[in-house]
Amino acid sequence: MMSETAEIKKEDVESFIANFELLKNEISKAVIGHSELLENILVCLLAGGHALIEGVPGLGKTHLIKTMGSVLGLETSRIQFTPDLMPADIIGTNVLMKDEEGSNSIRFSSGPVFSQVILADEINRATPKTQSALLEAMQERQVTVGGVSHKLDEPFIVLATQNPIEMEGTYPLPEAQLDRFFFKLIVRYPDSGELARIADLTTGISMPELDVLADEKKITSMKALIRSVPVPEEVRDFAVSLLKATHPESEAGSFSRFIRYGASPRGLQSMILAGKVYALVSGRYNVSMEDIKKAAYPSLRHRIILSFEGEAESITPDSIVESILKSL
């Protein structure tokens, strides 16, 4: 038994794969390495989610996101998070205006969140109050100011970068904020070959020119196809078991004592939707166990909150996910 879906046509899958590879290859012209990171950011966009991207400064996180926005043909805005940033600096505010006749009126002045690709740069350098200004936008695709709701344009994705929490001058993201992110992605250091290519690309005469290969219509079409991918009942049940095993009351393994809070249902949604994208990219017409396993790490690592014992023993969420997968 599979979830109820529309029929998927072979030509639609082939078109999806071609478009996905074209986008990935075009962005890769200006972004060296980070192939898996780039693929997962595209997965987030097409699945309708947001991504939290963690890595030390200087690894090209911001450059990747700005390049992606230009290739996708979507309006992009960058918000630099700092300790003195206020919520109104992100979502906008009502301002008092005076017309030519001297009459006063209140008008809404929109903030940089009114874009399609939002680069929330170094999000954990702002206070939790300012971080939370994105909550409604990420979940409801709207912001409310003065009791009036303002819709955001679709597609809409927040790509937030953050420095490792141990670094000076950073604030931990609230659990409610973390849970709004579809994926948490880790930026790795480039290897020697990639470093050499980065040096050649960034110290030469010019950067490569990039083509715009997508628009709102194409992205909307790709997103609709993803929703049509069926999920076999046993694969869905596997994802459910995987999620439940992250809860501290679970008896799935000895690692439960290291967990203070487990993943919410949003983690299940992330694994299944990401699994649908992975299936399509691989040319398959339904989600497999391997798709769920691949999606488990970026979907769950930020939704598993460690207990004091887990932190004391230097346990990581990734190691817990790995243990759960082995136990299942």
Helix spans in the chain (H): 10-28, 35-47, 61-72, 88-91, 128-131, 135-140, 175-179, 192-202, 216-227, 233-244, 265-281, 289-300, 308-312, 317-327
Is the CB of residue 155 less than 8 Å from the CB of residue 101?
A: no
The hierarchical CATH code for the domain 1-32+215-328 is 1.10.8.80
pLDDT computed for residue 264 by the predictor:
93
Residue ranges per structural domain of the chain: 1-32+215-328
Dist. CA 288–CA 290, nearest whole Å: 5
What rounded mean pLDDT belongs to the chain?
88
Dist. CA 53–CA 192, nearest whole Å: 22
pLDDT computed for residue 167 by the predictor:
63
pLDDT tens digits for range 47-101 = 999 999 998 877 888 888 889 888 998 899 999 999 999 999 999 988 888 777 7
Low-confidence ranges of the chain (pLDDT < 70): 1-6, 165-168, 251-253
pLDDT computed for residue 1 by the predictor:
46
Helix or strand or coil: residue 169?
Answer: coil
User: What residues contact 319, with CB distance under 8 A and at least 6 apart?
Assistant: none
What pTM, to 2 d.p., does this model score? Answer: 0.89
